[in-house]
């Protein structure tokens, strides 16, 4: 019998998880059962993915750069990547702002709903912690992100998943220096990182063996932990605008893939789908990164010289879904609380959401922290921030799941574009977890 393809296995796991989670919300003690006996597998799965993220970035970036043979190529890739990332993010924010201004989801919200949402969530630790986090992030000045990118201790950087940009910085510095000492001298180190890279990619294959079960656990947990269904319904129009915008982004990526890389967009979406499904289930681009890299390199055929730089950088700085959501959410909150926005305010949203999406961490809920900064930039009163966030908090998790899918799809699209533009988009070379099993049996 032909084995079911991975994306179908994961999809079935997700659907069963949703149904199981829903049934558990109906039975007494169901939520506790899921938290005690089901959630653990999903948590372990995310830990495993995060476990290999840093070694993978290190090994693949160093391998990618030291393969280049010519530093000017790296500069080429770097400039194109950043320029395209900024352009796609601006497209995303523009789509979000157009939709929210035309559909105006915030105008129909009744005062009763606003006060119910405020009473339920304004003092919720989920909301207050996001505001506190945002003020911490803001205190460093506009160029703080540059300072933060440079590590003062390589091992400290590697010991913290939140410091991914520092690891990228260190790996680039190491890779370039390896190029500069000449091929012969760099060979031992290069062989080491080549091998480490293959080993870590094999670990991705192994971890993916439990993916269908893990997504079951993750989604069952999301369902039992979600808020009051009535409140979710009240926010349906707002959520629909965000989801519609995100879907338009997928259409946009498909067109870009077709036009710039001449590949069939359905083929692209199929190859990347396991990573998309994991992004949806984990709400974290960082946790999904190892799988995104594996799919893009082995199943789409992007050369490591490109993907090893474009994808880790994209996971941390390119968040099209998040910026689209920030644009919609900021205007929705303003509409609902009758806070007037001028055209200049909307332009400010474009700029701050662009910067905010660059600054957002690739973890669940990070987009909402940076939304606080977007709201403050348009002069939204500080004492109403908690109310503003309370309005959208109930649907934040499902929207986070959807925007993370767009975030990683954007990264994959850009990696294809950059690869095509420098002649590095080749044929896929799929490797399976058991390719060499016979030799070690």
Residue 166 or 285: which CB sits closer to ligand ASP? 285
Q: Tell me how far, at minimum, the Cβ of 178 lies from ligand ASP, in Å.
A: 31
Q: Tell me how far, at minimum, the Cβ of 17 lies from ligand ASP, in Å.
A: 19
Residue 322 or 335: which CB sits closer to ligand ASP? 322
Helix count and strand count (H, E) for the chain? 22, 0
- Give the torsion sign (CA, 133, 275, 67, 76): negative
Tokens 């594996």: give the residue: 294
Helix (H, G, I), strand (E, B) or coil at 260: helix
Residue 60 or 404: which CB sits closer to ligand ASP? 404
241 within 8 A of 99, measured Cβ to Cβ:
yes
Q: How far lies 80's CA from each of 41, 73, 75, 87, in Å?
A: 40, 11, 9, 11
Q: Tell me how far, at minimum, the Cβ of 353 lies from ligand ASP, in Å.
A: 11
Contact residues for ligand ASP, defined by CB under 6 A: 283-285, 319, 322, 360, 362-367, 400, 403-404, 407
Buried b (16+ CB within 10 A) or exposed e, 10-43: bbebbebbbebbeebeeeeebbeebeeebbebbe
Q: Tell me how far, at minimum, the Cβ of 401 lies from ligand ASP, in Å.
A: 8
Beta pairing partners, 302: 425
Q: Tell me how far, at minimum, the Cβ of 173 lies from ligand ASP, in Å.
A: 26
Q: Tell me how far, at minimum, the Cβ of 378 lies from ligand ASP, in Å.
A: 19
Residue 81 or 282: which CB sits closer to ligand ASP? 282
**How many Å apart are CA 340 and CA 57, to the nearest integer?**
44
**How many Å apart are CA 266 and CA 263, to the nearest integer?**
9
The closest alpha carbon to 62, from 153, 188, 150, belongs to 188
Residue 134 or 178: which CB sits closer to ligand ASP? 134
For residue 74, how many other CB atoms are within 10 A of its CB?
18
Residue 307 or 322: which CB sits closer to ligand ASP? 322
Q: Tell me how far, at minimum, the Cβ of 29 lies from ligand ASP, in Å.
A: 30
Residue 273 or 360: which CB sits closer to ligand ASP? 360
Cα 272 to chain centroid, rounded:
14
- The helix (run of H) or strand (run of E) holding residue 339 is none
Q: Tell me how far, at minimum, the Cβ of 196 lies from ligand ASP, in Å.
A: 25
The closest alpha carbon to 301, from 266, 268, 278, 265, belongs to 268
For residue 59, how many other CB atoms are within 10 A of its CB?
23
Q: Tell me how far, at minimum, the Cβ of 415 lies from ligand ASP, in Å.
A: 16
Q: Tell me how far, at minimum, the Cβ of 370 lies from ligand ASP, in Å.
A: 8
| Rg, Å, the chain Cα set | 22
Residue 271 or 285: which CB sits closer to ligand ASP? 285
Residue 34 or 361: which CB sits closer to ligand ASP? 361
Query: Torsion angle, CA of 264/265/267/268, rounded to 10 degrees?
Result: 120
For ligand ASP, the nearest residue by Cβ is 367
217 within 8 A of 41, measured Cβ to Cβ:
yes
Q: Tell me how far, at minimum, the Cβ of 261 lies from ligand ASP, in Å.
A: 23
- Give the torsion sign (CA, 122, 123, 127, 130): positive
Residue 263 or 397: which CB sits closer to ligand ASP? 397
Beta pairing partners, 11: none
Residue 307 or 407: which CB sits closer to ligand ASP? 407
């Amino acid at each position: 019998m032909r084995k079911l393809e991975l994306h179908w296995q994961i999809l079935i796991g997700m659907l069963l998880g949703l149904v199981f989670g829903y049934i558990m919300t109906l039975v007494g003690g169901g939520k506790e059962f899921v938290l005690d006996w089901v959630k653990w597998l999903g948590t372990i799965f995310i830990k495993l993915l995060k476990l290999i993220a840093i070694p993978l970035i290190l090994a693949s970036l160093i391998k990618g750069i030291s393969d280049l043979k010519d530093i000017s190529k790296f500069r080429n890739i770097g400039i194109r990547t950043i320029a395209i990332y900024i352009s796609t993010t601006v497209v995303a924010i523009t789509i979000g702002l157009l939709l929210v201004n035309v559909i105006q989801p915030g105008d129909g919200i009744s005062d009763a709903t606003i006060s119910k949402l405020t009473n339920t969530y304004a003092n919720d630790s989920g909301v207050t912690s996001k505001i506190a986090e945002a003020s911490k992030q803001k205190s460093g000045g506009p160029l703080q992100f540059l300072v933060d990118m440079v590590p003062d201790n390589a091992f400290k950087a590697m010991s913290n998943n939140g410091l991914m940009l520092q690891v990228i910085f260190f790996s680039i510095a190491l890779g370039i220096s390896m190029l500069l000492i000449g091929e012969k001298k760099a060979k031992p180190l290069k062989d080491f990182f080549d091998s480490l890279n293959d080993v870590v990619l094999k670990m991705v294959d192994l971890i993916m063996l439990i993916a269908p079960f893990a997504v079951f656990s993750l989604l069952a947990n999301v369902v039992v932990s979600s808020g009051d269904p009535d409140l979710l319904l009240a926010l349906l129009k707002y959520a629909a605008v965000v989801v519609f915008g995100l879907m338009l982004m997928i259409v946009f990526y498909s067109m870009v893939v077709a036009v710039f890389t001449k590949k069939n967009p359905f083929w692209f979406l199929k190859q990347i789908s396991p990573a998309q499904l994991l992004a949806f289930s984990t709400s974290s681009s960082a946790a999904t990164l190892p799988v995104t890299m594996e799919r893009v390199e082995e199943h789409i055929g992007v050369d490591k010289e490109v993907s090893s730089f474009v994808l880790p950088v994209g996971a941390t700085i390119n968040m099209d879904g998040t910026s689209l959501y920030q644009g919609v959410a900021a205007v929705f909150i303003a509409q609902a609380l009758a806070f007037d926005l001028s055209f200049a305010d909307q332009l400010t949203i474009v700029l701050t959401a662009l910067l905010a999406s660059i600054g957002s961490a690739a973890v669940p809920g990070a987009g909402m922290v940076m939304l606080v900064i977007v709201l403050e930039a348009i002069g939204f009163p500080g004492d109403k921030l908690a109310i503003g966030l309370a309005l959208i908090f109930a649907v934040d998790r499902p929207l986070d799941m959807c925007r993370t899918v767009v975030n990683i799809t954007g990264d994959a699209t850009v990696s294809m574009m950059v690869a095509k533009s420098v002649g590095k988009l080749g044929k896929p070379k799929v490797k399976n977890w058991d390719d060499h099993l016979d030799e070690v049996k």
